Amino acid sequence: MQETPKGDRLHIALFGRRNAGKSSMINALTGQDIALVSDVAGTTTDPVYKAMELLPVGPVMFIDTAGIDDVGELGALRVERTMQVLNKTDLALLVIDPATGVGDEEIALAAVVRERKIPLLAVINKADVSSAPLLDLTQWGKTLDCPIIVTSAVSGLGIEKLKQAIIQAAPDDWEGQPLIGDLLQPGDTVVMVVPIDLAAPKGRLILPQVQAIRDALDNDAICIVAKERELRSVIDNMKRPPRLVVTDSQEFLKVSADTPPDVWLTSFSILMARHKGDLSTLAAGAKAIDDLKPGDSVLVAEGCTHHRQADDIGRVKIPRWLRQRVGGDLDFTWVSGGDFPTDLSRYKLIIHCGSCMLNRRQMVYRLSVAREQNIPIVNYGVLIAWLHGILPRALRPFPLVASLFTDEQP
């Protein structure tokens, strides 16, 4: 049995001072002894992730962070990492020890969270042992401008109430657009073209393929999965043609030739771009490719640190295609995993991976950083479709986005 992909979980981050009891709170919420808990302040250094099912929200990911009041050089580094967690946070819990109460750190954190438009809950911990009078509660709630829940991670007091508050505060739109389900009617057939890539481990399919099959089935559609060489014979063998063909971006040209003109064609990468972020921003970014000149700086951002093949798409193939396109060398920078620069001003273009390992919030954040600084951003699949001249066709299932490339009104 496999688990829900990390990127499709609601990300709930716990913030608070050292020793406020963030790790214990996660243990109390998950009913497991996973996080390292001790009475020494500052036990959690790097953010720690814990997946669980929280009904009726579904799959969630708790993120345990270092204390917002950490000190010294290392402490400052840890606080910085804690703040980076906000880039992927769908819902924030601020854990407060009543003995220290609401001070400058809590007020500053709440302000940053509010600025990012992330829902916030204040969680008073240690209510069972605290001798501090809890009369400040109303004042604290006003100061932080968020609901306050009184709990004890150790005794379990208030934990069920906290779960209910989490469920109510969870943003409705955190799941984003469906991957593929809304493009299909019950009984429709979708053909998925899946080149067996050397990069896919034995016995597995890559994540976007599994997610697309599952989403199609959940919407009562039928999936045909085949390698690119079989596509023509698959379509020839059907009495009614498929509604949609989805291909790996790297086979776009061949698949486009083998797909009848009246059948929709798109790519896993374009589906993922819509599911995880904002397809129109990425499609608009594709147009900036034509403005690139030799010597321009280009940022390539990968969401994970995967094992690299000799002809890696982000490190080798895309740079080669772009150099050919602009007729000269470009100045490429690569970042991977959680790293994403806040100052993008030196780049003429950002090229992002399919982000199968990132959550929607993280991708939306990156898109917003690029938009604010007016830097065009595109992803692998959109870029490849554009370079091959088939982006308008690949966007036909999404008329609003497709209208960017035509003079017609959607």
Instruction: Please tell me whether residue 194 binds a second copy under the rule CB under 8 A.
Output: yes
Binding of a second copy by 72 (CB under 8 A): no
User: Which one among 10, 94, 122, 223 touches a second copy, defined by CB under 8 A?
Assistant: 223
Quick check: 161 binds a second copy (CB under 8 A)? no
Helix axes of 159-169 and 22-30: crossing angle, nearest 10 degrees: 90
- How many degrees, rounded to 5, is the angle at CA 409 between CA 406 and CA 410? 95
Query: Across 17-146, where does the E strand assignment appear?
Result: 48-54, 58-64, 91-96, 120-124
Quick one: which of 108, 90, 135, 91 has its CA closest to 16? Answer: 108
CA distance 98 to 302: 42
Residues 247-276 that bind a second copy (CB under 8 A): none
Residues 196-215 that bind a second copy (CB under 8 A): 196, 199-207, 210-211, 213-215
Q: With respect to a second copy, which residue has the nearer C-beta, 76 or 199? A: 199
Stretch that binds a second copy, among 60-68, 90-98, 224-232, 252-260 (CB under 8 A): 224-232
155, 217 contact by CB (below 8 A): no
H/E segment holding residue 227: none
Q: How far apart are the first and last CA of the chain?
A: 43
Q: What are phi and psi of 234, to 5 degrees?
A: -60, -50
Q: Which tokens belong to 188? A: 């429709």
Is residue 172 involved in binding a second copy (CB under 8 A)?
Answer: no
Cα–Cα dist 6/9, whole Å: 6
Tokens of 10: 């609601």
**Residues paired with 264 in a beta bridge:** 244
Stretch that binds a second copy, among 153-161, 187-195, 332-340, 364-372 (CB under 8 A): 187-195
Applying CB under 8 A, among 31, 187, 295, 399 the residue interacting with a second copy is 187
Is 4 near a second copy (CB under 8 A)? yes
Which residues in the 337-356 window bind a second copy by CB under 8 A? 356
What is the distance of C-alpha 80 from the center of its chain?
A: 20
Residue 206 Cβ vs a second copy, minimum distance, rounded to whole Å? 6
239 interacts with a second copy by CB under 8 A = yes
Binding footprint of a second copy, residue count (CB under 8 A): 48
Q: Which residue in 240, 342, 345, 409 binds a second copy (CB under 8 A)?
A: 240
User: Cα–Cα distance between 233 and 224 in angstroms, integer?
Assistant: 12
Residue (102 or 184) nearer to a second copy, CB: 184
Give the nearest distance from C-beta 381 to a second copy in angstroms: 16
Binding site for a second copy (CB under 8 A): 1-5, 8, 58-59, 187, 189, 194, 196, 199-207, 210-211, 213-215, 217-218, 220, 222-227, 229-230, 233-234, 236-240, 304, 306, 356-357
